[in-house]
Amino acid sequence: MKILLANPNTSQSVTDRIAQVARAAASPGTALVAVTGSAGVPYIATRADAAVAGRTTLELMAEHAGGCDAAIVAAFGDPGLGGARELLSIPVIGLAEAAMLTACMLGRRFSIVTFSGTLGPWYRECVDYNGLASRLASIRCLDGPFDDIASVQDEKEDLLVDLCARAVDDDQAEVIILGGAPLAGLSARVAGRVPVPLVDGVAAAVRQAETLAALAPRKASVGSFRRPAAKSIVGVSTALKRLFDHTN
C-alpha cells in the first residue's frame, strides 16, 4: 500500500517531521510518499495561508497521487480537502478530519490543544465545517511567540502538557488532539503526563488512510464527489490542468 502525504506548507522540516511520525505509525507494508508545497508559507496559520494552500494541495495531489492508494492533506485545517476528494479516485483524508473522527471513538468530547493563539478561531471553523461542534470540549492555545516552527514542540512541551491539564480539568475533555503538523510526534512523548488519550493527527491520518484504502470504497459516479466533468483551467500546474481537463 502506498500513501501520499501532501504537505501544502513550504517547510521541508515540517514535511520531514510528518514523514517520520507517519512512518512510525504506518503498518509494516505501507510505503509513504511525502511531498512539500512549492507555493505558500512555511507554516499555515491563518485563513489567508489556507486559501493559498488549497490550490497547492491540489497541485501536489495532481503531481504525486498516481500509483497511490490513498492521500492525506498533511496540514491541520485540511486546505483543499474537498476539492481533492472530488478530483481523485483514491480516498483522501485530512489531518484535522482524521484526528477529530478518531478522537470521537475514544471519548465523547475532545479538546484541541495547540501552540499558537492565532490558530484557535481557524481551527474552530474546521470543527464547525466537520459538523462536530457538539463533540468539542474546547480549543486551547498557548499565547506567546515561539522560536522555530521545526522545534516548537520541544520548546513548548511543558506548557502544552499544562494546557492539556486545563482542558481536562476545566473543560472536561475526554480526549485531546495535539493540533498542527509541527506537533506531530509529541503525543507519543507526553502520553504519560496527560491523563486522557491523546490523538496525533499525523498518526491518525496515516492509519485512517490505510483503513480507507483497505475498505476500497468505489469512487462516486454521481453526486457532488463524483469526478467533475472535464473543464479547461488556466494558470495552474500542468499536472493539475490535466486532472481538470481529463487529459491525464
Distance CA 211, CA 214 (A): 5
Size of the site for a copy of itself (CB under 8 A): 97
End-to-end Cα spacing for the chain: 22
Site map for a copy of itself, 193-212, x if CB under 8 A?
A: -xxxxxxx--xx--xx-xxx
Kindly indicate which of the ranges 12-20, 54-62, 151-159, 178-186 contains the residues binding a copy of itself, using the contact rule CB under 8 A: 54-62
| Nearest CA-CA partner of 237 in 37, 80, 63, 42 | 63
CB 191 within 8 A of CB 170: no
Strands 70-73 and 92-94, bridge-based pairing: parallel
What cell was used for 141?
A: 492555545
Grid coordinates of 34: 511525502
Cell triple for 21: 511520525
Nearer to a copy of itself, 1 or 33 (CB): 1
- How far is it, in rounded angstroms, from Cα 34 to Cα 40? 17
Residue of 3, 50, 163, 178 that binds a copy of itself (CB under 8 A): 50
Contacting residue, 155, 214, 246, 248, with a copy of itself by CB under 8 A: 214
Q: Which of 77, 79, 180, 201 binds a copy of itself (CB under 8 A)?
A: 79
Residue 71 to residue 120: CA distance in whole angstroms: 26
C-alpha 233: how far from chain center: 27
* 111-128: b (≥16 Cβ within 10 Å) or e: bbbbbbeebbebbeebbe
- When the beta carbons of 34 and 176 are compared against a copy of itself, the nearer one is 176
β-bridge mates for residue 138, sequence order: 111
Please report how close the Cβ of residue 106 comes to a copy of itself at its closest, in angstroms.
6
Question: Of the listed pieces 14-22, 156-164, 177-185, 220-228, which binds a copy of itself according to CB under 8 A?
Answer: 220-228
Name which position in 19, 40, 76, 96 contacts a copy of itself (CB under 8 A): 40
Distance (Å, whole) CA 21 – CA 178: 13
Does the CA dihedral 111-113-117-123 come out positive or negative?
negative
**Smaller CB distance to a copy of itself: residue 19 or 199?**
199
Least distance from a copy of itself to the Cβ atom of residue 116, Å: 11
Write out the binding residues for a copy of itself, residues 84-123 only, by CB under 8 A.
84-87, 91, 93, 97-98, 101-102, 104-109, 118, 120-122
| Closer CB to a copy of itself, 66 or 121, in the complex | 121
Pick 27 or 151: Cβ nearer a copy of itself: 27
Per-residue binding letters, 145-184, with a copy of itself (x by CB under 8 A): -----------------------x---xxxx---------
Closest CB 114 distance from a copy of itself, rounded Å: 13
Q: Does 82 bind a copy of itself (CB under 8 A)?
A: yes
